[in-house]
Structure 1
Amino acid sequence: MPLSRRSFHRLAALSAAAGAGALAAPRAALAANTAYVFAYFTETPNMSGANYGLHLAVSTDGLNWAPLNQNNPVVTPTAGTLGLRDPFVFRKQDGTFVVLATDLNGTDFGQNNQYLHVWDSTNLTSFTGYRRVRMHTLNTHTWAPTAFWDAARGQYGIVYSANNGTDVFMVNYTSDFRTVSANQVYFSPGFPVLDGDVVVDGSTFYLYYKNLTTGLLYGARSSTGAANSYTTYTGGLRQGDAMEAPLLVRNNEGNGWRLWGDSFSPVNNDFYAWSQSNVGANSWTALNQRDYTPPLNAKHGSIAGISAAEYSALVSRWGLPNWVRLKSSNLPDRYVRHANNLGRIDAYPFDPHQDQLWRMVAGLADSSGVSFESVNYPGRFLRHLNYEIRLDANDNTATFRADATFTRVAGLADGAWSSFRSYNVPDRYLRHLNYALRIDPVTDATARADATFRVTS
């Protein structure tokens, strides 16, 4: 994980108006949004999982995400630094998409770049018209782009983080995301800011940002969306110990909003989330991490609403993961993994990140059950031995097959989740105890919670 962005001029993050909120009259002619797409790049604490191409994940509820293309990039820049950060996926007035991204490959935040990467896409199953668009001639960075439709101007605004002596947001206007107007300062409140996300709701423009002085996230609003017309209306928000990249998303159902923030701490969850029913209020409520699962290794992304047909096309084109993760119900920042050939739950993120990836296959002893094969150690399975869960090579004995087989049942603490009963010791369930995995009888509420997991991506 890179050092604090503050140490490197504070790296920008991407944000995203969930395309839905930024569309005007032509929106009514489009199919209703029933799902979501998440665009991001990837990093892990020791950077072994870092990839600076465009990654996509999908979700039907906007909370729990399935990476596409096995969490590999779907497109990679071919010019500039040959890498991207902070990808922003935005639905244009004609219903197609544009993708903007910071031109930065890796963590060398000291370099300055006047360009953004740009692609066009009909439905995110392919990407055309790749180009780099020059946003200014200043000796500064061009980080964390966001875009919005300004109906009064009849143009799109592209807002990004830059520095003109202090950290500010710049804006350029465009009709085609190819040629842009001269840059101008868009938001400079008297203290340094980073990672702006602009969303239009009706006649109100909302700008969420990070105050670099306090390290907190804030929301501002304007009735015109004009440069330097915003007034901050929320208190500061933070979860964890380090946060940036506010990401404001209107629910597809139209009955509420979510705000995401990206943690750049190597010991914290990568994303945190809040919700509230009225975006104009100052009443954000932190969501329990049980309620959401960000894409694996995702960093600084954006979210857009998509239709059912677009969701199906993305899944058909790129494919859903061929692995699963098991998320603890009562310690939801922790996932089942193997370490030193023992099963345990650890707080995510960690490396090797593949230690938490499993092929959930038909039970080795009974095909109606399930077994868990390690992705990074094929042929090794979770099994119990003296009630302790281990990762061992399948020796194809009847004992091993039985020890490695579990019956999946409704979650003992939450029926929407899952619990796993031992096949050959059926009064015992897979559970964690002091973070170690074992099989035990379940006799109280604590054990039921310990034995409940979400099967996720």
Structure 2
Amino acid sequence: MKRILILSMLLLSLAIQAQEKNTVYLFSYFKNNGQDGLHLAYSRDGLTWQALKNDESFLKPEVSKDKLMRDPCIIRGADGKFHMVWTVSWTDKTIGYASSTDLIYWSPQIAIPVMAHEEGARNCWAPEITYDAKKKQYMIYWATTIKGKFLETASEKESGYNHRMYYTLTKDFKTFSPTRLLYEPGFNVIDASIVKDGKRYVMFLKDETREPVQKNLKIAYSKKINGPYSAASKPFTGNYWAEGPTAFKHQGNWIVYFDKYTLKQYGALSSRDLENWEDISAKISLPKGIRHGSILNITEEELQKLIHVKMVE
């Protein structure tokens, strides 16, 4: 019986290794101010990334007065489609949404008025989507500053922005639950990115505090996708300003990519336990000018279609 158990564990390990060997990672990102839209790059080892379509845009922004496509977040939904949200403007109370079956041809873009009910809402930045398999619904979440709220952490610097994380739930991207507060850690917070880890949810987030300066990445945990989330951990990034975390697992290791934005370069950290971190920034290679986005898994077949996209357009 013991031998059978050991053999089963070995076969499972080999199957996981084979699956990871064939995994293709896709990085969705924007460049400059996000005016030209969605960019995509791929990697097989999670370290070296190659831009697709000669680093030209796959989808040009059409919604909002500013017509931007910043911070694109794409996930594969339970319906097999790719669902994407993004920042449409510096000041709008909406976020962008579109879907696709192949990452090449997209549905009409719509603006979801997630903060239209808040008269004092100043922005909707860096939205992301996470799927709740238990309740079969999606949570869309983003950062907003609302005038007159959370004054205890307000600062006059950086135009007085003082964000908290908000969310809405949807099953079909047509109807949405009322917007609610997702995370109030007691500081200016932005760029949350939530992933499922076993029975818990892990939120990677940016402490945006300017006085005294933080500008680093932290982690919070919850048993439920919409919280409550724990107090934020100590920073796991170093002595530089960091933002836009996106995380995935590769060969049992967590890898978190993020933007060292004041240094105009990307960084990456690796960990097995989300507590002890190794800086692997020197091992990564990314397209020039890449900015805040997300990483997901795709198949080799899907990648080949993206590689040959010019042939089918």
Q: TM-score, normalised by structure 1?
A: 0.56
8 Å contact from structure 2 (residues 185, 232) kept in 1: no
**What is the correspondence of 1:54-453 to structure 2 with a 5 Å cutoff?**
54-80=38-64, 81-104=66-89, 109=90, 112-137=91-116, 138=118, 139-164=121-146, 165=149, 166-213=162-209, 214-227=214-227, 229-232=228-231, 234-239=233-238, 241-251=240-250, 253=251, 255-265=252-262, 268-278=263-273, 281-289=274-282, 291-318=283-310
Q: How far apart in 2 are the matches of 1:239 and 1:295?
A: 23
Shift of 1:146: 1.0
Residue 108 of structure 2 aligns to a residue whose secondary structure is strand
AA aligned opposite 2:26: V
Mark the CA change 1:69 to 1:51 in structure 2 (over 3 Å): closer, same or farther.
farther
Q: Which amino acid aligns with 1:282?
A: E
Aligned partners of 1:233 and 1:282 also within 8 Å:
no
Residues 266 and 281, structure 2, Cα contact 8 Å, conserved in 1: no
Q: For residues 23 and 291 of structure 2, what CA distance do their matches in structure 1 show?
A: 24
Q: Which residue of 2 aligns with 1:14?
A: none
CA distance 1:128–1:207, shift in 2 (3 Å): same
* AA partner of residue 120 (structure 1): S
Q: For residue 35 of structure 1, what is the aligned residue in structure 2? A: 24
SS in structure 1 of the partner of residue 38 of structure 2: strand
CA contact (8 A) 1:66 1:295 kept: yes
Larger CA Rg, structure 1 vs 2? 1
1:240 & 1:233 partners in 2: Cα distance? 18
Distance 1:241 1:127 in 2: 37
- Unaligned 5+ residue runs, structure 2? 1-18, 150-161
Size of the alignment, in residue pairs? 270
- What runs of 5+ residues in structure 1 fail to find an aligned partner? 1-30, 320-457
Q: Give the secondary-structure state (helix, strand or coil) at the position aligned to 1:128.
A: coil
**Contact kept in structure 1, 2:35 and 2:61, CA below 8 Å:** no
Q: Is the 8 A contact 1:247 1:259 kept in 2?
A: yes
Q: Distance in 1 between matches of 2:194 and 2:310?
A: 29
Detail structure 1 runs of 4+ shifted over 6 Å in the superposition: none
CA distance in 2, matches of 1:237, 1:93: 32
- Bigger drift between 293-302 and 234-243 goes to 234-243
Contact map agreement 2:216 2:238 (CA 8 A) in 1: no
Q: 1:273 to 1:288 in 2, by over 3 A?
A: closer
What's the CA shift for 1:132? 1.4
Q: Residue type of the partner of 1:182?
A: P
Structure 2 counterpart SS, 1:300: strand
Shift of 1:56: 0.8
**Structure 1 position 240, deviation (Å):** 5.8
- Kept in 1, the 8 Å contact 2:204–2:245? The answer is yes
After superposition, what is the alpha-carbon deviation per residue over 1:188-214, rounded to whole angstroms, capped at 9, x for unaligned? Answer: 011110110011122110111111221
Cα distance in 2 for residues equivalent to 1:64 and 1:230: 33
Match of 1:76, SS state, is: coil
Q: Is the 8 A contact 1:234 1:282 kept in 2?
A: no
User: Identity percentage over the alignment?
Assistant: 26
The residue that corresponds to 1:328 in the other structure is none
Query: Counterpart of 2:215 in structure 1: which amino acid?
Result: G
**CA RMSD of superposed structures (Å):** 2.0
TM-score for both structures, normalised by structure 2? 0.81
